[in-house]
Structure 1
Amino acid sequence: MNNVAHSDIERLRDGIDAAWEEARKFGLDPFPTHFELVPASIMYEFASYSLPGRFSHWTHGKAFYRQKMQYDLGLSKIYEMVVNTNPSYAFLMDMNNLLQNTFVAAHVFGHTDFFKNNAYFQHTSRRMIDKVSIHAERIAKYEFDHGKDEVERYLDAVLSIQEHIDYNLLLNREAPADAEEGSKTPSTEFDDIWGLEDRAKRAEEERELKPGKPPKFPEKPEKDLLLFLIHHSPHLEPWQRDVIEIVRTEMLYFIPQMQTKVMNEGWASIWHSRIMRQLGDRGLLPTPRRSSSRSCTPAS
């Protein structure tokens, strides 16, 4: 921020406002977006934690060291980081020039439109920055109560299975009985064939429930391993269940971003090219000032 002249900040603000106007003209409906200029160290810290204010763990430090070293060596560069909240937060690199950051802002509006309107994100928390800050406070309290090493060892175990959750949030676990019966109206003389599998399953269940044989547990396969441990593990202490719930809640927030990565980036890229073309046609593209004291590391 200190490397950016006040006049450049004003010009960047004007460029972002113009990009927002063009995005709305194209029919995009993004969340209101708050932009911040940050140095590389802050950008890579946020990127390594995935969200500002998240709980501390050595894996986040490892990610920071790897990403920051690649940036310092000129092997890669993060141009922006966007947070799926309402309002959204977008962090721009202060070492980018004025034109680059205007370009990136147009890209951001594609992302925030995608976050707001894509079906995969409809059940994600729009106040996740507040939530992860509360999670971090709870984990810090557990470290004080039970020891940092103990909590770290337990987090190591939970994070090793963090992706074993139920991704299909929009699917019902079990269809209503009346809806199932209503779909089985006979239409031909061979319709009874389709019931063979259901009858075989019922017969198998009856055999398993014979006297002297313990009932099947769980009754149905459970894909969400973290949720299963929270509800059924007889050995966990309350703080350990809470840590699993924290990790699970945060993973449910991140999973849609993993599922839609290519589509999300493609959507943002299509719209930043159209928005910037319109700004160029209107003569609104900012021209960066030349300065021998500032340079940009090339992206990979």
Structure 2
Amino acid sequence: MVRVWNDIMRTLSDMHTVALATAGHLLHFELAVACEIFGTPPREATAGWYDVLLCGPGPARVGPFTVEPEHGLERLVNADTVIVPACADIDVPPPPELIGAVRAAHESGARIASLCTGAFTLGAAGLLDGRRATTHWAHTAELSARHPLAVVDPDVLYTDNGSVLTAAGKAAAVDLCIHLIHLDHGAAVANAVARRLVTPPHRLGGQAQFVATPIQVTGDHLLADLLTWVRQRLDQPLTVTDMARKANMSPRHLGRQFRAVTGQTPLRWLLTQRVRHAQELLETTDESIEAVALATGMGTATTLRRQFKRIVGVAPDSYRRSFRSAKPSDR
């Protein structure tokens, strides 16, 4: 199997060294996930596996622990794949030597993947400019503000630009690691790894992060009362004119206010709220898809399925099976 990253040709047999960037203060979950997934070959991996290395400039904090990397950053520069785990505090700049090493590894042809807030290290190295990227939904706005040339998508599990990949938070880190194994070893091996982890075999990166990003609107904001009013009437037919009349402003001015606060048009925001409410009902009730459609103002099950799949990335039925809380009798 042959792959091209940044116009540098590599074969799968060459791509065996996975360097985990272990520098600064890291969250332990993402580092442990990468160690587990890339460090434990399944029986189905008959064509070789990865050589996993911890690389860093010195002792690193990983959660409440201190970890001593076994290799320096010069080994990371020569790796085939570099994984940058989540940093614990995005307000603390990544170590300059790590930024340089990640940039040098990419220039040498390595595949670079960040997990959760590790995307901020990739951004500091200039690897997100002109590329799609994501991180944990709580930090996507900050990632976009710091790196305006990046195309930050807050609603996906992960992005794959070939030589540069980014994952959202926690579970999405697992998804991206399995995605890499799928690329390198095929679906059968990736599915074997997923079975060992007891996780879905392959969630596409375009699926949503399954969270409702909160909109920060203070009580005295022009839209504060309107947003509450709309959320209480999601089962009713609402138009931009209705919303503008309630807010006592023109539809055009309403549109400007919505884009400034939410980054969306009023109708797009309204549709998103309907879908988010549908998620809640699917998780917490036994209502039919038709009833959920009516309760969220979608009208019909067909409309709900189409809009839900487009925004969330999976069908309502699949979402309910995955995220419905267990009943007391099931516990």
Bin the TM-score by the shorter chain.
under 0.3
More helix by share: 1
More strand by share: 2
Give the TM-score normalised by the residue count of structure 2: 0.24
Considering Cα pairs closer than 8 Å and 6+ residues apart, tell me whether 1 or 2 has the greater RCO. Answer: 1
Larger Rg: 1
